[in-house]
């Protein structure tokens, strides 16, 4: 999670409406149009079904109440309006209460292709379709409850599991690889890279191995973990996750498959 950002979230008015500019709506329109084309035959069926249920507007940023109406009906979830950056306590607290945090800003044209901070396109388009799915919703809720109760050290381990599932997860569907991670599905470059590049390693999902795998947020991922199917998230959620964290600690971290991040000159 970034510690600083140039972005400021828009605040809703007394009726819960966020007033977006024409340019912001145009950025949403162009992001959606591009990504809908790229994810065809690459996103998992459950994601595409969730997109149909949400029926997101193509020409403007949706209001959160529009998204909440569908999520509440399907899985009892809602999205929550948050600042551009929130701390881990608030992040886990929201998930533990079936509220998915959505920073109410959208990227500028200058950062159209890549944005380090999660904006409303990433959160709504990338994640909310699968929050209509019971397995994904249950996993995310369980993760939130565990994270809220966990120590600072244990949260670092749990963050890796979230990264390799909710953000950058792959699965098998009728013999083919498909994407369910929102960090991939909101990125045109990573959508193609995750499935079609021969550079990354793709391992069968083993929660302990995922907990031991370092990652960087600012590069194309060198490692992905693959589920047999999305319902496997039910099984992972019902494991003794904190016992797996202790096992991962005892085994130690894997060697990073990426170079260290260069420090900015001061």
Q: Which of 141, 167, 187, 190 is catalytic?
A: 167
C-alpha closest to that of 236 among 165, 147, 130, 153: 165
Q: Which of 9, 186, 187, 190 is catalytic?
A: 186
167 is catalytic: yes
- Is 122 annotated as ligand-binding? yes
What lies within 8 Å, CB to CB, of 72 at 6+ separation is 78
C-alpha closest to that of 129 among 83, 189, 62: 62
State CA 143 to chain mean position distance.
13
Q: Which of 9, 122, 123, 141 is catalytic?
A: 122
186 is catalytic: yes
Q: Which of 9, 24, 117, 127 is catalytic?
A: 127
In the annotated binding site, the residues are 122, 127, 167
In the annotated binding site for Fe cation, the residues are 122, 127, 167
Q: Which residues are catalytic?
A: 122, 127, 167, 186
């Amino acid at each position: 999670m970034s510690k600083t950002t140039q972005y400021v979230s828009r605040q809703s008015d007394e009726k819960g409406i966020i007033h977006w500019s024409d340019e912001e709506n145009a950025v949403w329109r162009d992001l959606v149009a591009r990504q809908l084309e790229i994810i065809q035959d690459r996103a998992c069926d459950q994601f595409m079904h969730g997109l149909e249920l949400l029926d997101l507007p193509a020409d403007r940023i949706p209001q959160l109440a529009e998204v909440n109406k569908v999520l509440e009906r399907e899985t009892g979830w809602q999205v929550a309006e948050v600042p551009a950056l929130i701390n881990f306590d608030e992040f886990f607290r929201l998930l533990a209460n079936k509220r998915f945090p959505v920073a109410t800003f959208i990227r500028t044209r200058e950062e159209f292709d890549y944005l380090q901070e999660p904006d409303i396109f990433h959160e709504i388009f990338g994640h909310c379709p699968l929050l209509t799915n019971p397995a994904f919703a249950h996993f995310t809720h369980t993760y939130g409850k565990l994270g809220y109760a966990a120590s600072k050290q244990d949260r670092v381990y749990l963050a890796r599991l979230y990264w390799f599932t909710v953000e950058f997860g792959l699965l098998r569907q009728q013999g083919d690889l498909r994407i369910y991670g929102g960090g991939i599905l909101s990125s045109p470059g990573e959508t193609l890279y995750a499935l079609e590049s021969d550079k990354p390693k793709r391992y069968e999902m083993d929660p302990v191995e995922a907990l031991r795998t370092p990652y960087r947020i600012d590069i194309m991922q060198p490692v992905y973990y693959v589920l047999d199917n999305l319902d496997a998230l039910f099984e992972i959620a019902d494991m003794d996750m904190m016992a797996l964290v202790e096992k991962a600690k005892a085994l130690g971290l894997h060697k990073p498959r990426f170079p260290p991040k260069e420090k900015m000159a001061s």
